[in-house]
Amino acid sequence: MSKKDDFDKIDKNKDGYISREEYADANKSAGIEKENLNWFLRLITLGDRFDIKDFWDRVKKSIVEFIILVFGVTVSFGIEQQGGESDNRNDGIENLNNLREEIDKMITYTDAYIEQVDWVTELYQKQYDKWEKDNDSIFLDYQDDEEEPSGKYYFAPMGMYTQRDPFDPPRVNFDAIKLDGTFRLMPKEVGLKMTEIYDGTELRYLIENTGKNEERYVNQFVNRIANKWVYDLPWVDVDYNEFWIENRKYIQNDKFIKYNLYKRIDLWQWSVKEQLQQYRTSLIESTEMLDSVIAVRD
Protein backbone atom coordinates (compact mmCIF):
# COMPACT_ATOMS: atom_id res chain seq x y z
CA MET A 1 0.00 0.00 0.00
CA SER A 2 1.30 3.48 -0.90
CA LYS A 3 1.75 6.31 1.57
CA LYS A 4 -1.16 8.17 -0.04
CA ASP A 5 -3.45 5.20 0.46
CA ASP A 6 -2.37 5.01 4.12
CA PHE A 7 -3.10 8.72 4.55
CA ASP A 8 -6.49 8.43 2.91
CA LYS A 9 -7.32 5.47 5.10
CA ILE A 10 -6.58 7.45 8.25
CA ASP A 11 -8.21 10.72 6.96
CA LYS A 12 -11.72 9.41 7.18
CA ASN A 13 -13.53 12.78 6.68
CA LYS A 14 -11.35 13.57 3.64
CA ASP A 15 -10.56 17.10 4.79
CA GLY A 16 -6.87 16.75 4.01
CA TYR A 17 -5.86 16.77 7.68
CA ILE A 18 -5.42 14.03 10.27
CA SER A 19 -7.10 14.98 13.51
CA ARG A 20 -6.18 13.64 16.98
CA GLU A 21 -9.28 11.46 16.97
CA GLU A 22 -8.41 10.02 13.55
CA TYR A 23 -4.83 9.32 14.70
CA ALA A 24 -6.06 7.59 17.88
CA ASP A 25 -8.52 5.52 15.85
CA ALA A 26 -5.72 4.53 13.52
CA ASN A 27 -3.60 3.35 16.47
CA LYS A 28 -6.50 1.33 17.82
CA SER A 29 -7.01 -0.38 14.53
CA ALA A 30 -3.30 -1.21 14.14
CA GLY A 31 -2.27 -4.80 14.11
CA ILE A 32 -3.71 -8.04 12.84
CA GLU A 33 -7.23 -9.08 13.58
CA LYS A 34 -7.42 -11.87 16.17
CA GLU A 35 -9.39 -14.15 13.83
CA ASN A 36 -6.43 -14.23 11.44
CA LEU A 37 -3.92 -15.38 14.10
CA ASN A 38 -2.77 -18.91 14.94
CA TRP A 39 -3.84 -20.55 18.20
CA PHE A 40 -0.74 -19.49 20.16
CA LEU A 41 -0.96 -15.81 19.20
CA ARG A 42 -4.69 -15.80 19.89
CA LEU A 43 -3.90 -17.18 23.35
CA ILE A 44 -1.55 -14.31 24.26
CA THR A 45 -3.44 -11.52 22.43
CA LEU A 46 -5.35 -8.99 24.49
CA GLY A 47 -8.19 -7.30 22.62
CA ASP A 48 -9.31 -7.81 19.02
CA ARG A 49 -5.96 -7.27 17.26
CA PHE A 50 -2.38 -8.40 17.63
CA ASP A 51 0.24 -5.65 17.49
CA ILE A 52 3.81 -6.92 17.48
CA LYS A 53 5.19 -3.65 18.85
CA ASP A 54 2.72 -3.62 21.70
CA PHE A 55 3.47 -7.29 22.36
CA TRP A 56 7.21 -6.73 22.74
CA ASP A 57 6.62 -3.67 24.89
CA ARG A 58 4.56 -5.76 27.27
CA VAL A 59 7.16 -8.55 27.26
CA LYS A 60 9.97 -6.15 28.13
CA LYS A 61 7.88 -4.56 30.86
CA SER A 62 7.07 -7.96 32.37
CA ILE A 63 10.73 -9.00 32.30
CA VAL A 64 11.80 -5.82 34.07
CA GLU A 65 9.09 -6.23 36.70
CA PHE A 66 10.07 -9.88 37.23
CA ILE A 67 13.76 -8.99 37.66
CA ILE A 68 12.89 -6.28 40.17
CA LEU A 69 10.67 -8.69 42.10
CA VAL A 70 13.27 -11.49 42.19
CA PHE A 71 16.02 -9.09 43.21
CA GLY A 72 13.91 -7.66 46.01
CA VAL A 73 12.96 -11.07 47.36
CA THR A 74 16.56 -12.30 47.15
CA VAL A 75 17.94 -9.29 48.99
CA SER A 76 15.23 -9.51 51.63
CA PHE A 77 15.82 -13.23 52.16
CA GLY A 78 19.57 -12.71 52.39
CA ILE A 79 19.17 -10.03 55.05
CA GLU A 80 16.77 -12.19 57.05
CA GLN A 81 19.04 -15.20 56.75
CA GLN A 82 22.07 -13.26 57.93
CA GLY A 83 20.06 -11.91 60.82
CA GLY A 84 18.79 -15.39 61.66
CA GLU A 85 22.28 -16.87 61.54
CA SER A 86 23.54 -14.10 63.79
CA ASP A 87 20.70 -14.68 66.27
CA ASN A 88 21.29 -18.44 66.23
CA ARG A 89 24.99 -17.95 66.80
CA ASN A 90 24.36 -15.62 69.75
CA ASP A 91 21.85 -18.08 71.20
CA GLY A 92 24.38 -20.88 70.75
CA ILE A 93 27.10 -18.97 72.59
CA GLU A 94 24.68 -18.17 75.41
CA ASN A 95 23.80 -21.87 75.65
CA LEU A 96 27.49 -22.75 75.85
CA ASN A 97 27.93 -20.30 78.72
CA ASN A 98 24.88 -21.76 80.47
CA LEU A 99 26.30 -25.23 79.99
CA ARG A 100 29.62 -24.10 81.44
CA GLU A 101 27.89 -22.66 84.51
CA GLU A 102 25.92 -25.86 85.01
CA ILE A 103 29.07 -27.98 84.88
CA ASP A 104 30.52 -25.81 87.65
CA LYS A 105 27.42 -26.65 89.70
CA MET A 106 27.93 -30.33 88.89
CA ILE A 107 31.51 -30.12 90.16
CA THR A 108 30.35 -28.44 93.38
CA TYR A 109 27.68 -31.10 93.85
CA THR A 110 30.18 -33.90 93.20
CA ASP A 111 32.69 -32.46 95.68
CA ALA A 112 30.01 -32.29 98.38
CA TYR A 113 28.91 -35.84 97.56
CA ILE A 114 32.50 -37.11 97.84
CA GLU A 115 32.79 -35.58 101.32
CA GLN A 116 29.49 -37.16 102.30
CA VAL A 117 30.49 -40.62 101.10
CA ASP A 118 33.84 -40.33 102.87
CA TRP A 119 32.09 -39.46 106.14
CA VAL A 120 29.47 -42.20 105.82
CA THR A 121 32.02 -44.84 104.85
CA GLU A 122 34.23 -43.96 107.80
CA LEU A 123 31.24 -44.01 110.18
CA TYR A 124 30.02 -47.44 109.16
CA GLN A 125 33.50 -48.91 108.81
CA LYS A 126 34.03 -47.94 112.44
CA GLN A 127 30.77 -49.70 113.32
CA TYR A 128 31.78 -52.83 111.45
CA ASP A 129 35.23 -52.95 113.06
CA LYS A 130 33.81 -53.01 116.61
CA TRP A 131 30.93 -55.38 115.83
CA GLU A 132 32.34 -58.27 117.89
CA LYS A 133 33.42 -56.27 120.94
CA ASP A 134 31.84 -57.16 124.26
CA ASN A 135 30.40 -53.77 125.09
CA ASP A 136 26.78 -52.68 125.39
CA SER A 137 27.57 -49.41 123.60
CA ILE A 138 29.15 -50.86 120.46
CA PHE A 139 26.16 -49.75 118.37
CA LEU A 140 26.41 -46.17 119.59
CA ASP A 141 28.60 -43.36 118.36
CA TYR A 142 28.78 -39.68 119.17
CA GLN A 143 29.71 -36.27 117.87
CA ASP A 144 30.64 -33.15 119.79
CA ASP A 145 27.68 -30.95 120.63
CA GLU A 146 27.96 -28.05 123.05
CA GLU A 147 24.20 -28.04 123.62
CA GLU A 148 24.27 -31.53 125.15
CA PRO A 149 24.93 -31.78 128.93
CA SER A 150 27.93 -34.01 128.39
CA GLY A 151 29.10 -32.05 125.37
CA LYS A 152 28.45 -35.10 123.20
CA TYR A 153 25.48 -36.17 121.11
CA TYR A 154 25.04 -39.97 121.08
CA PHE A 155 23.32 -41.77 118.23
CA ALA A 156 23.05 -45.24 116.69
CA PRO A 157 24.56 -45.36 113.17
CA MET A 158 22.54 -48.48 112.35
CA GLY A 159 19.42 -46.54 113.27
CA MET A 160 20.15 -44.31 110.26
CA TYR A 161 20.98 -47.23 108.00
CA THR A 162 17.88 -46.77 105.84
CA GLN A 163 18.88 -43.27 104.78
CA ARG A 164 19.99 -42.98 101.18
CA ASP A 165 21.06 -40.19 98.84
CA PRO A 166 21.28 -41.33 95.20
CA PHE A 167 23.75 -39.41 93.08
CA ASP A 168 21.83 -36.87 91.02
CA PRO A 169 23.84 -33.84 89.83
CA PRO A 170 22.01 -30.92 88.19
CA ARG A 171 21.43 -31.70 84.52
CA VAL A 172 19.04 -29.31 82.77
CA ASN A 173 20.76 -27.49 79.91
CA PHE A 174 22.13 -30.50 78.06
CA ASP A 175 18.79 -31.81 76.78
CA ALA A 176 17.83 -28.36 75.48
CA ILE A 177 21.18 -27.94 73.76
CA LYS A 178 20.85 -31.29 72.01
CA LEU A 179 17.63 -30.07 70.38
CA ASP A 180 18.53 -26.51 69.35
CA GLY A 181 21.70 -27.18 67.34
CA THR A 182 24.26 -25.72 69.75
CA PHE A 183 26.38 -28.83 69.21
CA ARG A 184 27.26 -27.45 65.79
CA LEU A 185 29.40 -24.83 67.54
CA MET A 186 31.49 -27.54 69.20
CA PRO A 187 34.29 -29.63 67.75
CA LYS A 188 33.41 -33.31 67.63
CA GLU A 189 35.61 -34.28 70.58
CA VAL A 190 34.04 -31.57 72.76
CA GLY A 191 30.54 -32.73 71.87
CA LEU A 192 31.49 -36.29 72.75
CA LYS A 193 32.90 -35.12 76.09
CA MET A 194 29.68 -33.28 76.91
CA THR A 195 27.69 -36.39 76.08
CA GLU A 196 30.00 -38.44 78.29
CA ILE A 197 29.55 -36.33 81.42
CA TYR A 198 25.81 -35.95 80.95
CA ASP A 199 24.88 -39.37 79.67
CA GLY A 200 28.00 -41.54 79.76
CA THR A 201 28.81 -44.81 81.49
CA GLU A 202 30.58 -43.15 84.45
CA LEU A 203 27.45 -41.25 85.40
CA ARG A 204 25.19 -44.23 84.77
CA TYR A 205 27.26 -46.48 87.04
CA LEU A 206 27.19 -43.85 89.78
CA ILE A 207 23.43 -43.46 89.52
CA GLU A 208 22.95 -47.23 89.53
CA ASN A 209 25.31 -47.94 92.44
CA THR A 210 23.98 -45.15 94.66
CA GLY A 211 20.44 -45.87 93.56
CA LYS A 212 19.24 -49.37 92.75
CA ASN A 213 22.24 -51.29 94.12
CA GLU A 214 22.40 -49.47 97.44
CA GLU A 215 18.64 -49.63 97.78
CA ARG A 216 18.87 -53.41 97.64
CA TYR A 217 20.97 -53.51 100.84
CA VAL A 218 18.61 -51.10 102.58
CA ASN A 219 15.60 -53.21 101.63
CA GLN A 220 17.30 -56.35 102.91
CA PHE A 221 17.94 -54.62 106.23
CA VAL A 222 14.32 -53.46 106.50
CA ASN A 223 12.99 -56.89 105.56
CA ARG A 224 15.22 -58.55 108.15
CA ILE A 225 13.76 -56.38 110.88
CA ALA A 226 10.19 -56.91 109.67
CA ASN A 227 10.49 -60.67 109.14
CA LYS A 228 12.72 -61.70 112.06
CA TRP A 229 13.53 -59.08 114.68
CA VAL A 230 9.93 -58.19 115.38
CA TYR A 231 9.25 -61.87 116.19
CA ASP A 232 12.35 -62.44 118.30
CA LEU A 233 12.54 -59.23 120.33
CA PRO A 234 10.07 -57.78 122.84
CA TRP A 235 10.15 -54.40 121.15
CA VAL A 236 11.78 -52.90 118.05
CA ASP A 237 12.43 -49.23 117.45
CA VAL A 238 15.71 -48.48 115.71
CA ASP A 239 15.36 -44.74 116.38
CA TYR A 240 16.01 -45.19 120.11
CA ASN A 241 19.53 -45.65 121.48
CA GLU A 242 18.11 -47.84 124.24
CA PHE A 243 16.99 -50.41 121.69
CA TRP A 244 20.56 -50.89 120.46
CA ILE A 245 21.93 -51.07 124.01
CA GLU A 246 19.39 -53.58 125.31
CA ASN A 247 19.56 -55.85 122.27
CA ARG A 248 23.21 -55.52 121.31
CA LYS A 249 24.03 -59.24 121.84
CA TYR A 250 21.11 -60.34 119.70
CA ILE A 251 22.11 -57.92 116.93
CA GLN A 252 25.76 -58.98 117.19
CA ASN A 253 24.71 -62.56 116.56
CA ASP A 254 22.71 -61.63 113.46
CA LYS A 255 25.37 -62.42 110.87
CA PHE A 256 23.05 -61.47 108.03
CA ILE A 257 22.96 -57.84 109.19
CA LYS A 258 26.72 -57.78 109.65
CA TYR A 259 27.25 -59.17 106.16
CA ASN A 260 24.77 -56.68 104.74
CA LEU A 261 26.76 -53.86 106.33
CA TYR A 262 29.98 -55.28 104.94
CA LYS A 263 28.58 -55.36 101.40
CA ARG A 264 27.30 -51.81 101.59
CA ILE A 265 30.65 -50.51 102.85
CA ASP A 266 32.35 -52.44 100.07
CA LEU A 267 30.07 -50.75 97.53
CA TRP A 268 30.97 -47.31 98.86
CA GLN A 269 34.67 -47.98 99.30
CA TRP A 270 35.56 -49.80 96.10
CA SER A 271 32.94 -48.68 93.60
CA VAL A 272 31.26 -45.39 94.44
CA LYS A 273 34.37 -43.56 95.68
CA GLU A 274 36.44 -44.49 92.65
CA GLN A 275 33.64 -43.64 90.24
CA LEU A 276 33.13 -40.26 91.90
CA GLN A 277 36.79 -39.37 91.45
CA GLN A 278 36.74 -40.46 87.82
CA TYR A 279 33.58 -38.50 87.17
CA ARG A 280 35.00 -35.40 88.81
CA THR A 281 38.09 -35.66 86.60
CA SER A 282 35.85 -35.84 83.53
CA LEU A 283 33.96 -32.76 84.68
CA ILE A 284 37.18 -30.78 85.08
CA GLU A 285 38.37 -31.87 81.63
CA SER A 286 35.05 -30.86 80.11
CA THR A 287 35.29 -27.34 81.55
CA GLU A 288 38.73 -26.86 80.04
CA MET A 289 37.53 -28.03 76.63
CA LEU A 290 34.38 -25.91 76.82
CA ASP A 291 36.34 -22.82 77.84
CA SER A 292 38.48 -23.16 74.71
CA VAL A 293 35.37 -23.37 72.50
CA ILE A 294 33.74 -20.35 74.14
CA ALA A 295 36.94 -18.31 73.80
CA VAL A 296 37.01 -18.96 70.05
CA ARG A 297 33.28 -18.49 69.41
CA ASP A 298 32.69 -15.50 71.67
pLDDT per residue as tens digits for the range 140-151: 999 999 999 999
Pairing of the two strands 32-33 and 49-50 = antiparallel
pLDDT in tens, 114-125: 999 999 999 999
Residue 113 above 50 pLDDT? yes
Q: 34, 42 in Cβ contact below 8 A?
A: yes
With cut-offs at 50, 70 and 90, classify the pLDDT of residue 18.
Answer: low
pLDDT for res 3: 47
Question: Mean pLDDT lowest for which of 5-14, 15-24, 82-91, 245-254?
Answer: 82-91
Question: Mean pLDDT lowest for which of 90-99, 104-113, 123-132, 145-154?
Answer: 90-99
pLDDT for res 268: 98
Question: 108: how many CB neighbours lie within 10 A of its CB?
Answer: 13
Question: CA 141, CA 124: separation in Å to the nearest integer?
Answer: 10
Over range 171-192, report the average pLDDT: 81
Complete DSSP assignment for 125-191: HHHHHTTT-S-TTTT-EEEE-TTSTTSEEEE-GGGGTT----------HHHHHHHHTGGGGS-HHHH
With cut-offs at 50, 70 and 90, classify the pLDDT of residue 1.
Answer: very low
Residue 103 above 90 pLDDT? yes
Look at 17 and 269; give whichever has higher pLDDT: 269
Residue 291 above 70 pLDDT? yes
Q: What is the mean pLDDT of the chain?
A: 83
Residue 7 above 90 pLDDT? no
Question: CA 82, CA 93: separation in Å to the nearest integer?
Answer: 17
Residue 267 above 50 pLDDT? yes
**For residue 33, which phi and psi values (nearest 5 degrees)?**
-60, 145
Identify the burial level of 99 via C-beta atoms within 10 angstroms of its C-beta, where 0-12 means exposed, 13-18 middle and 19 or more buried: buried
Over range 4-20, report the average pLDDT: 58
Give the whole-number percent of the chain exceeding pLDDT 70: 70
Residue 263 above 80 pLDDT? yes
pLDDT for res 159: 98
Question: CA 183, CA 140: separation in Å to the nearest integer?
Answer: 53
Look at 269 and 36; give whichever has higher pLDDT: 269
Look at 13 and 274; give whichever has higher pLDDT: 274
Q: Using DSSP, state whether 33 is helix, strand or coil.
A: strand
DSSP-derived letter for residue 1 is -
Q: 214, 163 in Cβ contact below 8 A?
A: no
pLDDT for res 42: 58
pLDDT for res 220: 98
pLDDT in tens, 38-90: 655 555 565 566 566 666 667 676 676 667 555 554 544 444 444 444 445 56
